[in-house]
Amino acid sequence: MSSILEALTADEVAPVAEAGGESILPLRLEGVVARIRGKTLIGPIDLTIGHHGLTIVMGPNGSGKTTLLRLMHGLQRVSKGRVSWSLPEAAVRARQAYVFQTPIMMRRSVVDCIAYPLILHGVAKPEARARAADWARRIGLGHVLNQPAPVLSGGEKQKLALARALIRRPDILFLDEPCANLDGSAMRDIESILMQARQAGTRIVMATHDMGQARRLASDVLFMYGGKVHEAAPAAAFFNKPQTMEAQAFIKGDIVE
């Protein structure tokens, strides 16, 4: 883990200075509703994601955590309301990233998978592969550079997915249960990468079911219940004195329906 912590420096992870140094943040959701085939998945939601911090999205199964992340990122269509950023759509697309619970692995080598976002945005292949190899070594994948990505272990796949997301230094990173089903060692490494990215300036919004992980990482918490943001608070306030009965029960480990 120490090699990961030492290697991800601010210059290598910090968001790209484009558009005169402006950030795409804050992100604002105003009266947002998402529906599919007439069924309301989440909403209405009013929410602002500012420039700094690591927001943990928590809640029982079916409460809308993944839908909220997908809606903010642009993978889920808005049925009502408005999602707005501080810069035009083209800049927004280029400066955010999303890591799925089960990362998508292309049928390519590890180094080529990590390099792919750079090549897609016009970086010459030799330079992209060199930068990808550097990232792979920094996150503990230097020994599998030329292996096919689909044969990696679960923890290795998540590290690859994070490197692929962070290599272009996004302003904001969305993660959906990135440590689900990982062992303690892999989880520790993933958390180290996330904390370094946060310290270097990348805004993080992450869903997790793991209460211990939420306590370790969160600067603030969004508690989802019934398709709405039922409670939003700084992490210390949420965990020490939740304001709603549902959040209190969830923190205690009770079944919340």
Instruction: Extract the tokens encoding 146.
Output: 């030329």
| Residue 257 belongs to some domain of the structure | no
Tens digits of per-residue pLDDT, 95-138?
Answer: 999 999 999 899 999 999 999 999 999 999 999 999 999 999 98
For the packed helices 125-138 and 154-166, what is the interaxial angle rounded to 10 degrees?
130
Tens digits of per-residue pLDDT, 208-235?
Answer: 999 999 999 999 999 999 999 999 999 9
pLDDT at 15: 53
In 3D space, the residue among 156, 108, 153 whose CA is nearest the CA of residue 136 turns out to be 156
| Residue 155 belongs to some domain of the structure | yes
Of the CA atoms within 13 Å of residue 32, those in its CB half-sphere come to: 27
Number of domains in the chain: 1
| Residue 81 belongs to some domain of the structure | yes
pLDDT at 257: 85
| Residue 113 belongs to some domain of the structure | yes
What is the domain extent for residue 199?
2-252
Quickly state the pLDDT bin for 83 (edges 50, 70, 90): very high
Tens digits of per-residue pLDDT, 15-46?
Answer: 544 344 689 999 999 999 999 999 999 999 99
Model confidence at 5: pLDDT above 60: no
Model confidence at 190: pLDDT above 80: yes
| Residue 187 belongs to some domain of the structure | yes
- Please state, for a pLDDT cut of 70, what percent of the chain lies above it: 92
pLDDT at 4: 41
Model confidence at 10: pLDDT above 50: no
User: If you write DSSP's letter for every residue of 89-137 in order, what string do you get?
Assistant: HHHHHHTEEEE-SS----SSBHHHHHHHHHHHTT--HHHHHHHHHHHHH
Rounded Cα distance between 238 and 9, Å, is 31
| Residue 202 belongs to some domain of the structure | yes
Model confidence at 1: pLDDT above 50: no
* Average pLDDT of the residues of the chain: 91
Please say whether the beta carbons of 95 and 126 come within 8 A. Answer: no
* CATH code of the domain containing 13: 3.40.50.300
Least confident stretch, 4-18, 35-49, 80-94: 4-18
SS3 sequence of 182-221: CCHHHHHHHHHHHHHHHHCCCEEEEECCCHHHHHHHCCEE
Burial class (CB in 10 A: 0-12, 13-18, 19+), 33: middle
> How close are the terminal C-alpha atoms of the chain, in Å?
38
Model confidence at 55: pLDDT above 60: yes
